[in-house]
């Protein structure tokens, strides 16, 4: 990161001297607390991923003397962290599309690398999850603290001045937070310096991206999350794959990134790219077939299939309870089948059992990946009924089970986090953090989801409409197929192309819709 006259400069925009000094003090404090050694060396090896290795050809990057030596040839490193499920989900989309384009995806999870990366990120992750849950239990905290922190804006004018105070918050939207996060991520540089500096790398969180650039990596593409531009998502020295045109404009212009509301110098066009939504290859490839199956089931009067997802922060239990109670009579009438994915939250399974003492006979548990996969494969061509609960003992299967079930359900009920960008009809329940509202806006305008249901009654109304009527499901499926035809869901492919130089082209039929699959010839090597 550049520094001129003691002031950090990001894309030609200088921080105040006091903000620059505060960022240096922040890094020094973290370095002391977590015993940062600037000369520490990392030995990195590859091992087959035991969970998704057979699906994506995925290999784990591990800190060890044992394992397969890391080879740059044909490799794409996918660097992520678990902070909620969204960043893992984006990384899986990158790994899936890298595999489809002929590369070997290598999974680098900073929380799986012993050392300062694990110690530091676990601190931040614990705080994020805690405040996410508090925001769902306290409307006052959510409105006046959490939404302000996650958007950089306040509903009360008096708080707008306080937002600039270190004591109250340090909003993610402002440029000073970008520098603060970069200085934190510089402490990961030794890890990334152990990799070939020019290996193609996809990142799904800015700390991964910043650490990679600080470690001297030169071929980094950040798969930017959400649809609300915030300064802390930018890393000078990397390219950024942006999921929406409005997001692209926000990052390009650095709109609202200054805490004093100044107009900033824009980000150069070579640093940002509108790619489209970050979605797994197997979901994009099968959009037409899966939407046709949804409409076939609807017209055949089969029970409408709903998938209810619990996020990685474990919030929204009250909403879960209300949705399940609403659906139970419809399940008994064979109008609806409900699939509840608890992720890897074992405590939520114990809670759910206590909430359903008289309905356990309807419940079908699926607690292994083999069982989840077998069930999804079975109902691809057979009717489904009842209440099904999914719980896994690892984050990979916890996240990917939702992706796998997406193809065989009709509607997904989810907060508008990263799942907002996926090609499936969706009911958007209340957001967790103000930044998520723009995911719901994006989905609603594209026609593949409802507007955000800001209350439990609104969510239940949406369930009623999508269970007992046909117009909305018909509309959503039609929009999803059309969205595919113009590349809305091609973001992960294009991020791989940015990192590797291998062009992505989806072949189109003359006078007809796009082909449902991506044949190998759809991916081309760089021009000589």
pLDDT in tens, 480-506: 999 999 999 999 999 999 999 998 887
Those residues whose C-beta lies under 8 Å from the C-beta of residue 48, and which sit 6 or more positions away, are 58, 59, 60
Contacts of 29 (CB under 8 A, 6+ apart): none
Q: Is 157 exposed, middle or buried (0-12, 13-18, 19+ CB in 10 A)?
A: exposed
**CA proximity to 78, closest of 69, 87, 68:** 87
Q: Which residue is listed with tokens 């996918």?
A: 78
| pLDDT for the residue numbered 451 | 96
CB contact at 8 A, 160 and 154? yes
Which 3 state secondary structure label does DSSP give 259?
coil
Distance CA 476, CA 141 (A): 34
Strand order in the sheet with 75-80: 68-69, 44-48, 59-63, 104-109, 75-80, 201-203, 220-223, 239-242, 272-274
Contacts of 117 (CB under 8 A, 6+ apart): 110, 111, 188, 191, 211
Contacts of 385 (CB under 8 A, 6+ apart): 303, 331, 334, 337
CA dist., res. 69 & res. 455, Å (int): 52
Return the sign of the alpha-carbon dihedral for residues 493, 494, 495, 501: positive
For the chain, residues with pLDDT lower than 50 are: 155-170, 508-521, 525-528
Strand ranges inside 224-302, DSSP E: 239-242, 272-274
Which residue, chain included where needed, has tokens 């209810």? 308
Q: What is the pLDDT of residue 299?
A: 97
Dihedral sign for Cα 238, 395, 126, 349, please.
positive
Distance CA 223, CA 276 (A): 10
CATH number of 20-131+171-278+490-503: 3.40.50
Coil, helix or strand at residue 337: strand
User: Beta-carbon neighbour count of residue 217 at 10 Å?
Assistant: 25
Report how far residue 290's alpha carbon sits from residue 69's, in angstroms, rounded to the nearest whole number: 40
3-state secondary structure of 506: coil
Whole-number Å distance between alpha carbons of 34 and 188 = 12
Model pTM?
A: 0.89
**282-485 belongs to CATH 3.40.50.2000:** yes
Does 20-131+171-278+490-503 match 282-485 in CATH topology? yes
Residue 278 makes CB contacts below 8 A (sequence gap 6+) with: 90, 93, 94, 223, 241, 243, 418, 421, 491, 492, 495
Q: Where are the chain's structural domains?
A: 20-131+171-278+490-503, 282-485
pLDDT of residue 359: 78
Beta-sheet strand order (sheet of 2-4) = 2-4, 7-10, 13-14
Measured between its terminal Cα atoms, the distance across the chain in Å is 33
Q: How far apart are CA 359 and CA 307, in angstroms?
A: 18
DSSP-derived secondary structure letter, 433 = S
Q: Which two tokens stand for residue 344?
A: 């890897």
């Amino acid at each position: 990161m550049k520094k001129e006259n003691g002031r950090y400069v990001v894309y030609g925009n200088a921080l105040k001297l006091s903000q620059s000094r505060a960022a240096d003090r922040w890094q020094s404090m973290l370095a002391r607390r977590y015993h940062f050694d600037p000369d520490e060396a990392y030995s990195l090896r590859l091992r087959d991923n035991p969970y998704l290795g057979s699906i994506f050809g995925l290999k784990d990057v591990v800190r060890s003397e044992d394992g397969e030596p890391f080879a740059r040839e044909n490799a794409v490193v996918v660097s992520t962290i678990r902070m909620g499920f969204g960043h893992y989900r984006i990384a899986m989309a990158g790994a899936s599309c890298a595999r489809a384009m002929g590369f070997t995806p290598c999974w680098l999870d900073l929380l799986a690398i012993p050392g300062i990366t694990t110690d530091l990120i676990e601190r931040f992750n614990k705080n994020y999850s805690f405040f996410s849950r508090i925001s769902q239990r306290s409307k006052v905290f959510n409105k006046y603290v959490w939404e302000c922190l996650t958007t950089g804006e306040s509903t009360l004018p008096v708080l707008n001045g306080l937002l600039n105070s270190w004591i109250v918050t340090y909003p993610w939207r402002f440029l000073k937070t970008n520098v603060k996060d970069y200085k934190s991520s510089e402490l990961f540089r030794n890890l990334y310096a152990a990799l070939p500096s020019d290996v193609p790398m996809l990142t799904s969180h800015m700390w991964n991206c910043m650490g990679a650039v600080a470690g001297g990596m030169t071929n980094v593409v950040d798969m930017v999350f959400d649809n609300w531009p915030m300064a802390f998502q930018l890393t000078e020295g990397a390219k950024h794959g942006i999921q929406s045109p409005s997001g692209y404009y926000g990052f390009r212009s650095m709109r609202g990134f200054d805490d004093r509301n100044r107009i900033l110098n824009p980000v150069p066009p070579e640093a940002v790219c509108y790619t489209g939504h970050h979605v797994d290859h197997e979901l994009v490839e099968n959009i037409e077939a899966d939407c046709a199956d949804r409409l076939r089931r609807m017209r055949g009067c089969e029970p409408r299939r709903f998938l209810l997802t619990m996020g990685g922060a474990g919030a929204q239990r009250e909403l879960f309870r209300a949705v399940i109670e609403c659906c139970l009579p419809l399940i008994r009438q064979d109008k609806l089948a409900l699939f509840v994915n608890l992720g890897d939250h074992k405590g939520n399974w114990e809670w759910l059992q206590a909430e359903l003492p008289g309905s356990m006979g309807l419940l079908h548990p699926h607690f292994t990946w083999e069982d989840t996969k077998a069930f999804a494969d079975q109902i691809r061509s057979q009717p489904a009924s009842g209440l099904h609960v999914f719980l896994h003992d690892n984050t990979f299967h916890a996240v990917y089970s939702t992706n796998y079930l997406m193809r065989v359900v009709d509607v997904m009920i989810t907060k508008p986090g990263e799942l907002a960008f996926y090609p499936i009809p969706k009911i958007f329940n209340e957001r967790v953090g103000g930044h998520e509202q723009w995911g719901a806006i994006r989905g609603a305008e594209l026609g593949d989801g409802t507007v955000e249901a800001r209350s439990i009654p609104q969510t239940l109304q949406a369930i009623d409409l999508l269970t007992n009527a046909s117009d909305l499901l018909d509309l959503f499926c039609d929009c999803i197929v059309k969205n595919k035809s113009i590349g809305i869901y091609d973001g992960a492919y294009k991020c791989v192309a940015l990192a590797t130089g291998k062009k992505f082209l989806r072949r189109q039929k003359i006078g007809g819709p796009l082909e449902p699959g991506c044949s190998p010839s759809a991916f081309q090597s760089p021009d000589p």
